[in-house]
Structure 1
Amino acid sequence: MIDVTLENFESEVIAASMDQPVLVDFWAPWCGPCKTIGPILEKLEGEYGGGFKLAKINSDEEQQLASAFGVRSIPTVVLMMNGQPVDGFMGAVPESKVREFLDKHVTAVVAEEEAAAEAPAPELDAEGQLERLQHAVATDPANDDARFDYVKALLMAGRLADAKRAFEPVAAKAPALRRLDALRRWIEAVEAEGAHDAAALDARIAANRRDFDARYAKAQSLFAKQQWTAAMDELLEILMRDKSWNEEAARKLYIAILEIIEPPKQKTAEGQIPSDDPTVASYRRRLSSVVLS
């Protein structure tokens, strides 16, 4: 979905409609029916997977465009193909009717894209992967698995500010969901990076092996630098000496790291099975051995 003005109309509507259908939605902030049809169109743009592009025009601010299309009432929706209007409707029609309208024009486009999707997709570079994940989250904001993968990829790329923005919609759910809690702890570790001098932490630990604050800070720093096993080794040093220190902070951070480095579960006919990554398996056993001892 894109907001269209007179300045970008040529590129975002006329030129764009040469490659894919463009659905133009004329609306206004004061228009009650517009608030009904707008979300329907935005939802269907995602569901049709690129079958059409949604362009929204504020008819109050862009009266010249509204006049050019002969808009007499809003909402008015016009479908553009190959640079020309081919169909349209007025009013807040039900979603089922909008689907019928779209299916007359964009089903073939969707079918072509689905056929193309069956072919092996080329391997994406890091930026391409991020764009794919961002699209998955935008299409289905309630998909926590997709959001986990997206925020994780942003943190892996060192894009802390973007990761925090992407994580914010699910931050309230983090205490109840282990994977989201793992992201929260990773973000906190990255934010804390640089607050402590590594040499000073090592000196404190050498002077007092039970300086758990120093060990925990060092583990956070290693976590932030994506030195997973080194961070967990430092946390094990705390757990071996005091499993309940600071309300089990070491165990919780250790589990968070395991959640981050665990490969995606394999899907089978019977459901999902855990990965057999040797590093993850080894560090899970070490945690169990220490906690249960």
Structure 2
Amino acid sequence: MIDVTLQNFENEVINASKSVPVLVDFWATWCGPCKVIGPLLEKLEAQYAGRFKLVKIDSDQEQQLAAAFGIRSIPTCILLMDGQPVDGFMGALPEGKIKEFLDKHLPPAEEEEEELLEQEAPADAGSQLERLEQAVAADPANDDARFEYVKALLLADRIDDAKVAFAPVIGKVAAVRRFDSLQRWLDALDAAAAGAAALSDLDARIAADRRDFDARHRKAQLLMARGQWTQAMDELLEILMRDKAWNEELARRTYIAILDIIEPPRPKVAEGQIPPDDPTVATYRRRLSSVVLS
């Protein structure tokens, strides 16, 4: 546990959260519930053995930091990942509830990760493509199957085959969001194949004018074509933070397209249960919401 002030906040919280999730506990010396939850958080930090870092901020002494996070009552805990707040809770929650909160966001322990890898070995790409092709042939109107089939073809770098499979539903692009997402991916691949501006040239334009949104969007497209999804979304967020409505919300629409593309198919779960969110998709959805709603 580390006491954080304005002077060490950048290093101990922002920079640290780029390598390990950081849980910030806002507290005060006069706060009774803070004295209850504080020891629990320290106990859990030890139990989780490096899966997250706990820091404490005295909201009375560090009012600028408390105001920056919009703290209205204490104790309040905020979880940061990759330099951004992703979730939080207020009040002295019981240990079980805090564990539920942490487990929802933190990567699994190494032994758990190994077990998951053993239990969820990915299906052979060839057999998966064959299965999806059969599903589309059996039911050409199955939009979900067609989306997954075209997506799998693109991931296999079979772009021409993907365009053939996509052709029957091009007329649905305006009405079916995931087909619109595929179209944006295809557009990005076409732009890259046509010899669009080099990444270094786009970076130079952005360095000269941080509001060169056309250069930022072109860079995001190039990153999409390379499969660098999170980097593309980071670039689109830079546009959204400056102008949410730019070019008829083109940045937001492209960002949503990437989320559709990278989200894995939901696994089957028992009735009444909710399948877990992909952590990368969940994180970038929250970032989009925080920017769009701000």
Report the TM-score when normalising by structure 2.
0.56
Contact 2:181–2:257, Cα closer than 8 Å, also in 1: yes
Matches within 5 A, 1:245-260: 245-260=246-261
Between Structure 1 and Structure 2, whose CA radius of gyration is higher? 1
Question: Within 1, Cα distance between the matches of 2:153 and 2:271?
Answer: 32
Q: 2:234: which partner in 1?
A: 233
Contact 1:179–1:256, Cα closer than 8 Å, also in 2: yes
| Deviation for aligned residue 1:250 | 0.1
Question: Within 2, Cα distance between the matches of 1:175 and 1:143?
Answer: 17
Are positions 1:291 and 2:292 aligned together?
yes
Question: Within 2, Cα distance between the matches of 1:272 and 1:146?
Answer: 23
Q: 1:22: which partner in 2?
A: none
> What SS is found at the alignment partner of 2:268?
strand
> What SS is found at the alignment partner of 1:267?
coil
| Deviation for aligned residue 1:248 | 0.2
Contact 1:262–1:275, Cα closer than 8 Å, also in 2: no
Question: Within 1, Cα distance between the matches of 2:181 and 2:276?
Answer: 18
Contact 2:153–2:162, Cα closer than 8 Å, also in 1: yes
| Deviation for aligned residue 1:181 | 1.1
> What one-letter code is carried by the residue in structure 2 that aligns with 1:160?
I
Q: 1:219: which partner in 2?
A: 220
Matches within 5 A, 1:31-46: none
Contact 2:269–2:275, Cα closer than 8 Å, also in 1: no
Contact 2:199–2:219, Cα closer than 8 Å, also in 1: yes
Q: 2:280: which partner in 1?
A: 279
Matches within 5 A, 1:114-129: 124-129=123-128
Q: 2:199: which partner in 1?
A: 198
Question: Within 2, Cα distance between the matches of 1:146 and 1:153?
Answer: 10
| Deviation for aligned residue 1:224 | 1.1
* Identical residues among aligned pairs (%): 70
Q: 2:21: which partner in 1?
A: none
Q: 1:103: which partner in 2?
A: none
Q: Which runs of 5+ in 2 are unaligned?
A: 1-120
Matches within 5 A, 1:1-293: 124-193=123-192, 194-268=195-269, 270=271, 273=274, 275-293=276-294
Question: Within 1, Cα distance between the matches of 2:264 and 2:144?
Answer: 13
TM-superposition CA deviations, 1:30-66 (whole Å, max 9, x none): xxxxxxxxxxxxxxxxxxxxxxxxxxxxxxxxxxxxx
Q: Which runs of 5+ in 1 are unaligned?
A: 1-121
> How many residue pairs were aligned?
172
TM-superposition CA deviations, 1:109-128 (whole Å, max 9, x none): xxxxxxxxxxxxx9753222
Contact 1:265–1:273, Cα closer than 8 Å, also in 2: no
Contact 1:266–1:272, Cα closer than 8 Å, also in 2: no
Greater Cα shift, 270-279 or 283-292: 270-279
- 1:274/1:242 CA distance change after superposition, 3 Å: farther
| Deviation for aligned residue 1:159 | 1.2
Question: Within 1, Cα distance between the matches of 2:260 and 2:128?
Answer: 20
Contact 1:189–1:220, Cα closer than 8 Å, also in 2: yes
Q: CA RMSD in A?
A: 1.8
| Deviation for aligned residue 1:144 | 0.8
Contact 2:172–2:179, Cα closer than 8 Å, also in 1: yes
Q: 1:6: which partner in 2?
A: none
| Deviation for aligned residue 1:235 | 0.1
| Deviation for aligned residue 1:266 | 3.5
Contact 1:179–1:259, Cα closer than 8 Å, also in 2: yes
Question: Within 2, Cα distance between the matches of 1:123 and 1:282?
Answer: 23
TM-superposition CA deviations, 1:155-206 (whole Å, max 9, x none): 1011111111101111111111111111111111111113111111111011
TM-superposition CA deviations, 1:212-251 (whole Å, max 9, x none): 0000000011111111100000000000000000000000
Contact 1:130–1:150, Cα closer than 8 Å, also in 2: yes
| Deviation for aligned residue 1:265 | 2.1
